[in-house]
Chains A and B, each alone.
Chain A
Amino acid sequence: MPGTGLEALKALIVEDNQHMRALLRSLLGSAGMHAVHEAADGSAALNVMATRRCDLILCDLAMKPMDGLEFTREVRHSKTSTNPFVPIIMISGHTEKRRVEAARDAGVTEFLAKPVTAQSLYSRIAEIMERPRAFIRSGSYFGPDRRRKAAENYSGPWRRQDDMHDLEVR
């Protein structure tokens, strides 16, 4: 396929299933993203991130020893994190509400349910690029704004008042 413009970007796939890693790598390659690092769990991925640039992360949820939630929290919160703002797409067969909410609260950018389709993956990547979200730093949370549908010019009351006390825009 002709270049989409993703050729200069580097991705990191964090997935314990080698077949799934190969599939995701092929899908990214099909879209022009050929520079892809791989890791079989969260701690291996952190090692990769320590030495390699990563512009996009595709991450499984259930992995051992470090799962996708802990990995995401490390990326977002750790003082040694090389890129706390990096987009993270969590890809999982665990689609129960509590798991999706846990992923959101850990700071993932997008959640994608398995089985993966080309359309679902590409549309998530396009969404991240087209509509990048503000990051929120509050007492216990650092990550993309979880109220993704809030209008920028909205002037009414916040749904969760406690989130927005002493609001500061950097």
Chain B
Amino acid sequence: MAKTQIIPPDSYPQMVSRSEAARISRALRSQEAIQHGDHVIEETSQSLREGVRGYVRALETVIGDHRQTYEKAHEIRGFAENAGLAATGRIADGLCGYFDEIEKLASEPDIEVIALHVSAIARAAYAEDEAIRMGNMVAKELASLVRHKLDEAKAAAGD
């Protein structure tokens, strides 16, 4: 059997020395650094929003291709919130969760469920103010639809 070799941290190059590490870590964890970083995210949110909308447009063209839909929904889930599109991210998260659960059940995804999510994602991605609250409500409604559909799929798998 091959030997397992342990290489301790002091035997390979580190990013910084031990004394520097403590100082830099304190600076990185400081409120000042975090607030500054959060401000940077806010500043880039408009350009991120354009990126999310690009993925949304792509998502709308791939309904029916489950693999592509899954990948695009993951991308949207990944950075919609950074773009200030929390409801969009939440609905995309719901769609990703639906795909994950349906895969575990070895069932086919319901095209209606996917289409409803994609439509809601598209609306939420372009929503402003009042409509964002609507987006959150839609996310909740879709989550209960997903639960219902998964219960159906589980019952069918148990038959």
Contacts and interface: CB of A to CB of B under 8 A. Distances in A.
Interface of A: 1, 4-6, 9, 17-20, 22-23, 26-27, 29-31, 55-56, 62, 83, 85, 87, 92-94, 96, 114-119, 121-123, 125-130, 132-139, 145, 163-170
A164 B4 contact: yes
Given A62-B74, A92-B78, A118-B37, A134 B7 contact: yes
Nearest to A133: B9
Contacts, number: 173
Q: How large is the interface on B (under 10, 10 to 19, 20 to 34, 35 or more residues)?
A: 35 or more
Contacts of B74: 62, 93-94
Given A114-B79, A115-B78, A115-B82, A126 B9 contact: no
Contact of B37 (A87, A121, A129): A121
B60 interface: no
Interface string B10-37: 0111111000111111011100111111
A130 B34 contact: no
A62 B96 CA distance: 15
Interface of B: 1-9, 11-16, 20-25, 27-29, 32-41, 43-44, 47-48, 50-51, 71, 74-75, 77-82, 89, 96, 100
A31 B22 CA distance: 15
A168 B75 CA distance: 42
A13 B50 CA distance: 20
A30 B6 contact: no
B75 A93 contact: yes
B47 A170 contact: no
- By DSSP majority rule, is chain B's interface helix, strand, loop, or mixed? helix
Given A93-B78, A122-B34, A126-B28, A117 B11 contact: no
Contact of A129 (B11, B25, B39): B25
Given A4-B24, A18-B51, A165-B1, A135 B33 contact: no
A122 B24 contact: no
B68 to A, nearest CB: 12
Contacts of A20: 48, 51, 78-79
A163 B2 CA distance: 10
A4 B78 CA distance: 28
A62 B71 contact: yes
Given A118-B41, A126-B29, A129-B21, A93 B15 contact: no
Contacts of B32: 1
Given A114-B78, A118-B33, 6 more contacts: A115-B82, A118-B41, A125-B28, A132-B9, A165-B3, A166-B1
A128 B71 CA distance: 30
